[in-house]
């Protein structure tokens, strides 16, 4: 199974509009972060996790022309606003796009993209064809088994996903009690770590390190970072086996 990080930044992206800080002006390509998303591939099956506003650029950069399904973690703008670009996958795949998420997320998508689900909207090539499918138990997409994992993003329940020995837990500051048993025996964990200072809906770096230590994956990569966390300097202070992810990072997992 191959994981590619399409974006590892917080909702603003890094660099952030109108900011002159050292991270935003950095020439290290690992400090340039698009909005958060990954692609999971195995034996010809391709799953996209979230479809943020940078989806078009991410798909072009990584040559993604085939997506079998999209898994949504939640309905915030930085995770769904690329849905219009699914029109291209509808064309290359000649079919509707299966979109999985919890009931709240699918409702957020229906409301945000009202024109897509309004039968009065003229079809043409103008709207993405989306098949919204609620998920609350393990599913299979082609060759890939998917285990939804309940997380808390402040007061909002959202989903992380486990694929075999890999788990992707973005946008959270608490792991639900029901989820801990589902996170044992991981080779690779990806976990939200927004910044150093505490935040009401995201793990700080210290909180993320503590949660990652408790989960005990072989390797942990952090994502959804803002400009407060420069790549090189932050990595230097992390425990062994933990590092910041970066856009374009590829992981092969047995
Ligand atoms: Zn900045
Ligand atoms: Zn969010
Ligand atoms: Zn987010």
> Which sign, positive or negative, has the C-alpha torsion 232, 234, 239, 243?
negative
Q: Please give the distance, rounded to the nearest whole angstrom, from the Cα atom of residue 97 to the centre of ligand 2.
A: 22
> In 3D, which of 158, 169, 141, 138 has the Cα closest to residue 46?
141
| Contact status, residue 88 vs residue 51, Cβ threshold 8 Å | no
Report which bound ligand comes closest to the CA of 105. 2
| Contact status, residue 160 vs residue 167, Cβ threshold 8 Å | yes
Residues lying with their CB under 5 A of ligand 1, a single-atom ion: 16, 19, 21, 24, 227
| Contact status, residue 38 vs residue 3, Cβ threshold 8 Å | yes
| Contact status, residue 140 vs residue 164, Cβ threshold 8 Å | no
Phi and psi (nearest 5°) for 207? -65, -40
Q: Please give the distance, rounded to the nearest whole angstrom, from the Cα atom of residue 129 to the centre of ligand 1.
A: 37
Q: Please give the distance, rounded to the nearest whole angstrom, from the Cα atom of residue 123 to the centre of ligand 3.
A: 30
| Contact status, residue 238 vs residue 209, Cβ threshold 8 Å | yes
62-82 pLDDT, tens per residue? 999 999 999 999 999 999 999
Report which bound ligand comes closest to the CA of 11. 3
Global pTM value: 0.97
pLDDT tens-digit profile, the chain (254 residues): 999 999 999 999 999 999 999 999 999 999 999 999 999 999 999 999 999 999 999 999 999 999 999 999 999 999 999 999 999 999 999 999 999 999 999 999 999 999 999 988 887 768 999 999 999 999 999 999 999 999 999 999 999 999 999 999 999 999 999 999 999 999 999 999 999 999 999 999 999 999 999 999 999 999 999 999 999 999 999 999 999 999 999 999 98
Count CA atoms within 13 Å of residue 109 on its CB side: 30
Q: Which pLDDT value is given to residue 119?
A: 86
Report which bound ligand comes closest to the CA of 108. 2
Q: Please give the distance, rounded to the nearest whole angstrom, from the Cα atom of residue 227 to the centre of ligand 2.
A: 17
| Contact status, residue 220 vs residue 242, Cβ threshold 8 Å | yes
Residues lying with their CB under 5 A of ligand 3, a single-atom ion: 78, 171
């Amino acid at each position: 199974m191959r994981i590619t990080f399409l974006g590892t930044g917080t909702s603003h992206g890094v660099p952030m509009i109108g900011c002159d800080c050292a991270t935003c002006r950095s020439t290290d390509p690992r400090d340039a972060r698009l909005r958060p998303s990954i692609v999971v591939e195995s034996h010809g099956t391709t799953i996209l996790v979230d479809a943020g506003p940078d989806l078009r650029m991410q798909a072009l950069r990584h040559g993604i022309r085939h997506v079998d399904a999209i898994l949504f973690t939640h309905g915030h703008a930085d995770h769904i606003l690329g849905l219009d670009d699914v029109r291209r996958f509808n064309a290359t795949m000649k079919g509707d796009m299966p979109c999985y998420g919890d009931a709240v997320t699918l409702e957020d998508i229906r409301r945000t993209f009202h024109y897509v689900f309004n039968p009065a909207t003229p079809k043409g090539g103008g709207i993405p064809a989306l098949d919204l499918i609620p998920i609350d138990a393990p599913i299979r997409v082609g060759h890939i088994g998917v285990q939804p994992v309940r997380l808390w993003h402040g007061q909002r329940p959202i989903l992380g996903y486990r694929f075999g020995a890999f788990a992707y837990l973005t946008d959270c500051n608490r792991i639900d009690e029901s989820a801990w048993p589902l996170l044992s025996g991981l080779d690779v964990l990806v976990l939200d770590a927004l910044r150093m200072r505490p935040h009401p809906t995201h793990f700080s770096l210290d909180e993320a390190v503590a949660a990652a230590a408790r989960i005990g994956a072989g390797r942990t990569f952090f994502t959804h970072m803002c400009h407060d966390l420069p790549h090189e300097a932050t990595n230097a202070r992390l425990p062994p086996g933990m590092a910041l992810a970066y856009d374009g990072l590829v992981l092969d997992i047995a």
